[in-house]
Amino acid sequence: MTLKGPSLEFALPKELEAHAPPEARGLSRDGVRLMVSYRQGDRLVHARFRDLPEFLREGDVLVINTSGTLPAALPAFREDGSELRLHLSTRLPGGVWTVELRRLEDGATKPYGGGEAGETLRLPGGASVTLLARHRMEEAGKAGSRLWVASFSLPEPYAPDPLPYLLEHGKPIRYGYVAGEWPLEFYQTVYATEPGSAEMPSAGRAFTPEVLTRLLARGVLVVPLLLHTGVASLESHEPPYEEFYRVPPVTAQAVSQARAEGRRVLAVGTTVVRALETVADPLGRVHPGEGWTRLLVTPERGVRAVDGILTGWHEPKATHLAMLEAIAGRRHLEAAYQAALEHRYLWHEFGDLHLVLP
């Protein structure tokens, strides 16, 4: 297994994919494995997530994403009766959504390139969705996106709020590497407060009330922000789509003060990095704000607001690897991923975790 190329290419063996939640493997949430990697000296430590407080110190600021996961997958039927899967991605201003159509294949789903502007698909419970136009990828300067901008027609008593409808008829988005269906609570973090993510901000899944209590007792400051994640781009490695974020004043102040005093700011997940970097000025001061971000964090841009990150293990060529390289550096990232492969860490949202520290 080798790491190579400008986009950190490597072979991910199928047996290193987490096919089920840790609870189904006889583990607690905080029983998954944790690699702690220190950029200075490329030192690697192998632990369990429940050991996290031992690696943090008084004065650290830990920033979490409190977005909750939606049951964002629905069966959808074309006029000819053929069945697809509809994945909701992001709710846009004006009440429209970006959505993805997927075809069924061998018990899983694959990207579906069909669909026509103006087409209406039937949904469960008397609802329907109309495809309005292909979503335009402004960063790439093209309209060839696999996502659609779509509008929903929901019957009473659901309209106009789609959340009750999704809770009754939707299921969590599941990709082919996950064996079987799992209830929505398996896709939620313990600190989720506001539903809105198409897929779980999975870096925070292993937190338990006990771990959070120990962190607070250690003097670690835990502060929230919100970023609603859209659908992942596992197949095509596209840049992230625009996502809604909200950085409250208390979090902006805590991060800015920590950086001014030389204390560490650690992000729980790539979503937190994206939100903080969106509102950080060139001097690293973080300002409160909310809106839509299209920011892509790369080594060339660098990071301004964070010193480290807790994250999962990302697929070969995934755009998140560019963000991790911006935080950790290429050499250190290669060393950590090589060790993760050799020590049989598990990938994906139900897998193991990686804490990058200075």
Q: Can you give the pLDDT at residue 249?
A: 98
The Cα–Cα gap between 267 and 259 comes to 13
Q: Can you give the pLDDT at residue 1?
A: 40
Residues 6+ away with beta carbon under 8 Å from 294: 138, 139, 240, 241, 242
Q: Can you give the pLDDT at residue 233?
A: 56
Q: Can you give the pLDDT at residue 236?
A: 53
Which residues of the chain are modeled with pLDDT < 70?
1-8, 137-144, 233-239
pLDDT tens for 144-202 read 578 999 999 999 888 778 889 999 999 999 988 898 899 999 999 999 999 999 999 99
Q: Can you give the pLDDT at residue 213?
A: 98
Q: Can you give the pLDDT at residue 237?
A: 56
Q: Can you give the pLDDT at residue 2?
A: 45
Q: Can you give the pLDDT at residue 142?
A: 46
Q: Can you give the pLDDT at residue 119?
A: 96
Q: Can you give the pLDDT at residue 94?
A: 84
